[in-house]
C-alpha cells in the first residue's frame, strides 16, 4: 500500500482510507437499460461539471429532461473528491495512478479510480456507499474499496444486512455447530446426511483464523475461528439461513452488522423476518439514484428531496409523513453505534434540521438516512410497502429492511 493510505475497520468490513481516515470508494462500470454508467477501469469519469438533463439510461423515460433543483445541484467531483496523487507518487502492486482529463493524477486500486465522499464525516464512516448487492436496475453505485478478505480459496464473504456472511465460492451458506470444537466434530453418522463438512484440499495449510480438522485420514475439514464448517443439504437457495433453524446450528459471519436500536423488533413475514419498530410495523429504507450520466444518489437528506416527496406523498411533504412516517426516537433513546443514529429532520422539507428548530423530528436513521414505516401496513409482519416506487423501489422508492428471507435474497 502506498504511503499515506491505511485500512479502517468499518461496518462494511475493512476498507482503504486516505491519510485522514476518509474511506476510499470506486465507481465500477454498471450496465443499465440503455447503456453504461460508472467508470471503465483506468478511466475517470467523475468531473467538476453540473449536469442539467437526464441521460435516458433507464426506461421508459427519454433523455434530455431537466434535472431538479439545478441551481443547487453539485457536480460529481464536489460530491466525490478524487484521491489525487502527487507527481512523485509511485505505483505499488494493485495501487496504480491514472491521469485525469486536466492532467492531474489520481490514485486507482485494481485500476478503478479512487474517491472520497463528502457524506463521510469521520474515520470509519461508509455513508457514501455500500458493498451490498445492487442489481441491473439499480444506479451505478459507489462501492467502498478495501483489501481482499483473508479466506482460503473456495470461500467468499458477502455483505448482508445482518453482517458479512461467509459462504462457499458457489454462494452456499456455511454453518457451524455448537457441539463442535476446533479439534472435534459432534456431527457424525446420521448427522452427515444433511450436514456436509467443507473439506480442504490436500495442499491446504492452517493460516490465521483458519485451521484444519482431520475427520479421518486424508479427510480434512476447514475450521474458522475454532468451529468446523459445514454446508446444509436442505438449503434451497444461495446465502440461505434455513440451516440455522436447527438447534445449535448457526450461519457463520466474519463480522456481524451493528446492532439495531433496542426498541426495534423482529417480525415474521411470508418471506422471512423483517426489522420492525416497537409496535411491530415493518421498517423501510428509501433508495434513490438519478437517471443522469453521473448517477448521483438522491437518498440522503442533503440530496434533493424532489424524488422522495413525489414517491412518498405525491409531492406533498405532509402526505409523506402520513403515508410513510419517520420512526420517531423516544426522548431517552440514544444512538447505539454509528450505523444506527438519531437525527433531526424537518418534516416539511425532508432535510436535516438544526438543534432547537421548531417542528423538527428526532428520528432513527440507518447510515445517516431516515428509516420509515408504511401507513398501508396494518399488522406486524406486513410488507405491503416493499417495492414501492420506481424500479421496484431500487431507484426512487422503498424496500423493507430484511433480516432473513428464505425466498428472494433480500438480505443482500
Partner 1 sequence: MKTKQALLFSALITLFSAGSFADEAVLKDGRIGYVMTDLFWSVYQTEDASQECPRGFNDGPREQFEQLFPYHEGLSVEETQLAQEIETWHPSTESDGFEFLEVEGELSWGLNLDDEISANDFRHPDGTAGIDNEVYRAVGCVIGFRGPDGVEYIFQNKAIVDERYNRMMIELSGVESLENDDQLTVTVYRGMDRLLTDATGGKVMPGGTQRVDRRWGESLIREVRARIIDGKLISEPMTDMVIPWQNLRVPSIQLIRDARLVLDLTAQNATGLLAGYADVDTWYYQLIRNDSTHHLSNGQISGISLYKALRRLADAYPDPDTGENTAISTALDIKMTQVFITHPKPLGGD
State the residues that interact with partner 1 by CB under 8 A. Answer: 33, 53-54, 58-62, 64-68, 137, 236-237, 245, 268-272, 291, 306-307, 310-311, 313-315, 319, 383-384, 386-393, 396, 405-410
Least gap, CB of 56 to partner 1 (angstroms): 10
Least gap, CB of 282 to partner 1 (angstroms): 12
> What grid cell was written down for 147?
483489501
What is the Cα–Cα distance from 23 to 46, expressed in whole angstroms?
Answer: 17
Which lies closer to partner 1 via its Cβ, residue 311 or residue 327?
311
For cell 474499496, name the residue: 145
User: Closest by alpha carbon to 344, among 313, 332, 358, 336?
Assistant: 358
> What grid cell was written down for 267?
417480525
Least gap, CB of 310 to partner 1 (angstroms): 4
Which lies closer to partner 1 via its Cβ, residue 182 or residue 306?
306
Which lies closer to partner 1 via its Cβ, residue 248 or residue 314?
314
What is the Cα–Cα distance from 349 to 22, expressed in whole angstroms?
Answer: 29
Least gap, CB of 288 to partner 1 (angstroms): 12
Counting DSSP H helices and E strands in the chain, the numbers are 4, 30
Which lies closer to partner 1 via its Cβ, residue 9 or residue 65?
65
Q: Which helix (H) or strand (E) holds 320?
A: helix 317-323
Least gap, CB of 410 to partner 1 (angstroms): 7
Which lies closer to partner 1 via its Cβ, residue 197 or residue 385?
385
Instruction: Annotate 344-374 with DSSP letters as a single string.
Output: EEETTTTEE--TT-TT-EEEEEETTEEEE--
Which lies closer to partner 1 via its Cβ, residue 26 or residue 240?
240
Least gap, CB of 49 to partner 1 (angstroms): 18
Which runs of E-coded beta strand occur in 28-180? 30-32, 35-37, 84-85, 95-99, 105-109, 112-113, 143-144, 155-160, 163-168, 175-177
Query: Do strands 272-276 and 402-405 pair parallel, antiparallel, or not at all (unpaired)?
Result: antiparallel
Which lies closer to partner 1 via its Cβ, residue 306 or residue 360?
306
Least gap, CB of 339 to partner 1 (angstroms): 24
Exposure on the CB side of residue 213, measured as CA atoms within 13 A: 21
Amino acid at each position: 500500500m502506498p504511503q499515506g493510505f491505511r485500512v479502517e475497520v468499518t461496518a462494511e468490513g475493512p476498507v482503504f482510507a486516505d491519510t485522514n481516515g476518509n474511506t476510499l470508494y470506486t465507481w465500477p462500470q454498471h450496465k443499465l437499460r440503455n447503456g453504461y454508467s460508472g467508470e471503465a477501469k483506468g478511466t475517470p469519469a467523475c468531473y467538476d461539471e453540473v449536469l442539467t438533463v437526464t441521460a435516458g439510461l433507464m426506461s421508459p423515460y427519454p433523455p434530455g429532461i431537466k434535472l431538479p433543483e439545478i441551481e443547487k445541484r453539485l457536480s460529481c467531483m464536489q460530491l466525490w473528491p478524487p484521491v489525487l496523487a502527487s507527481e512523485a507518487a509511485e505505483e505499488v502492486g494493485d495501487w496504480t495512478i491514472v491521469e485525469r482529463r486536466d492532467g492531474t493524477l489520481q490514485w486507482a486500486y485494481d485500476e478503478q479510480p479512487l474517491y472520497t465522499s463528502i457524506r463521510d464525516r469521520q474515520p470509519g464512516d461508509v455513508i457514501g456507499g455500500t458493498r451490498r448487492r445492487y442489481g441491473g436496475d439499480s444506479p451505478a453505485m459507489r462501492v467502498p474499496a478495501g483489501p481482499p478478505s483473508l479466506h482460503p480459496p473456495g470461500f467468499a464473504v458477502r455483505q448482508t444486512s445482518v453482517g458479512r456472511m461467509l459462504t462457499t465460492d458457489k454462494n452456499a451458506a456455511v454453518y457451524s455447530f455448537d457441539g463442535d470444537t476446533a479439534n472435534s466434530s459432534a456431527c457424525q453418522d446420521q448427522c452427515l446426511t444433511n450436514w456436509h463438512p467443507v473439506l480442504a484440499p490436500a495442499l491446504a495449510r492452517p493460516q490465521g483464523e483458519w485451521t484444519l480438522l482431520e475427520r479421518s485420514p486424508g479427510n480434512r475439514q476447514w475450521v474458522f475461528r475454532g468451529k468446523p464448517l459445514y454446508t446444509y443439504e436442505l438449503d434451497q437457495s444461495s446465502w440461505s439461513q434455513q440451516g440455522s433453524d436447527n438447534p445449535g446450528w448457526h450461519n457463520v459471519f466474519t463480522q456481524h452488522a451493528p446492532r439495531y436500536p433496542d426498541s426495534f423488533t423482529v417480525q415474521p413475514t411470508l418471506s422471512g423476518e423483517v426489522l420492525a419498530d416497537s409496535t411491530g410495523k415493518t421498517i423501510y429504507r428509501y433508495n434513490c439514484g438519478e437517471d443522469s450520466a453521473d448517477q448521483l444518489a438522491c437518498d440522503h437528506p442533503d440530496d434533493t428531496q424532489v424524488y422522495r416527496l413525489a414517491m412518498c406523498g405525491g409531492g406533498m411533504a405532509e402526505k409523506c409523513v402520513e403515508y410513510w412516517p419517520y420512526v420517531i426516537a423516544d426522548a431517552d433513546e440514544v444512538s447505539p453505534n454509528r450505523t444506527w443514529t438519531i437525527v433531526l429532520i424537518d418534516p416539511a422539507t425532508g432535510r436535516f434540521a438544526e438543534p432547537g428548530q421548531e417542528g423538527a423530528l428526532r428520528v432513527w436513521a440507518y447510515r445517516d438516512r431516515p428509516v420509515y414505516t408504511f401507513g398501508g401496513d396494518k399488522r406486524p409482519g406486513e410488507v405491503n410497502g416493499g417495492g414501492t416506487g420506481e424500479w421496484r423501489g431500487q431507484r426512487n422508492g422503498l424496500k423493507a429492511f430484511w433480516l432473513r428471507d428464505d425466498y428472494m435474497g433480500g438480505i443482500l
